Copies of this chain bind each other. A is one copy, B any other.
Amino acid sequence: MARPRRYDPDRRERIVDAALRVVGRDGIAGLSHRTVAAEADVPLGSTTYHFGSLDELLVAALRRANATFGQALRESPELAGPDADLAAALARIMGRWLDEDRGEVELAYELYLAALRRPALRPVAEEWAGEVRAALAGRTDLATARGLVAMMDGLCLMYLLGGHRYQEGYARAMLARVLDEGSEAPVVPLSEPPTAPTDT
């Protein structure tokens, strides 16, 4: 309504914010130049001016979401103590996450979905897993860290899709099994994936 806003720095940022809100509310399928322009209260042309394509805008939005989440994860109190029970800590974090920010979790896994078919999003999805691994750095070896990420992803999907309530005890038990290096040694020391160039 307050239309005449010709000089507007951080308009770009506001568009990204709006895109994130739209995607969180309606899913990636709900993102369009129109919806984001309306949400950001900017003219339609402004979105195409600042972002060459929808994918470009989506990548920017998801990257911002990743950063926010990664920071929250790294700063979570459960991971602070150096000798914390890692399985218990992750199980508690997952529980809080599923409980409090379900929309955010859905967004994260919807990103996974989109990345399956849209190569431009692959690097962002990869960064996502990287955030988690980074938070585990030093607490366990890389192979185990990957296993933990896989288990967390699998459990999250199970809880997001099934009708169950989250059961922290169960999650802790499963993560603990993955952590138990004695049972079977990690056979292959995985190298980091080839980080593709990120934009478009």
Which residues of A approach B to under 8 Å, CB–CB?
Answer: 26-27, 29, 106, 109-110, 112-117, 122, 125-126, 129, 143, 146-147, 149-155, 157-158, 160-164, 167, 169-170, 172-174, 176-178, 180, 182-188, 190, 193-194, 196
Contact = CB atoms under 8 A, between A and B. Distances in A.
Contacts of A117: 26-27, 29, 106, 110
B188 A116 contact: no
Contacts of A176: 183-184
Contacts of A157: 112-113, 150, 153
Nearest to A87: B184
Dominant SS among interface residues on chain A: helix
Contacts of A126: 161-163
Given A112-B161, A113-B157, A169-B187, 15 more contacts: A26-B117, A29-B117, A109-B112, A110-B117, A112-B157, A125-B161, A143-B170, A150-B151, A150-B174, A170-B190, A173-B185, A173-B188, A177-B184, A180-B184, A182-B183
A1 to B, nearest CB: 14
A158 B128 CA distance: 11
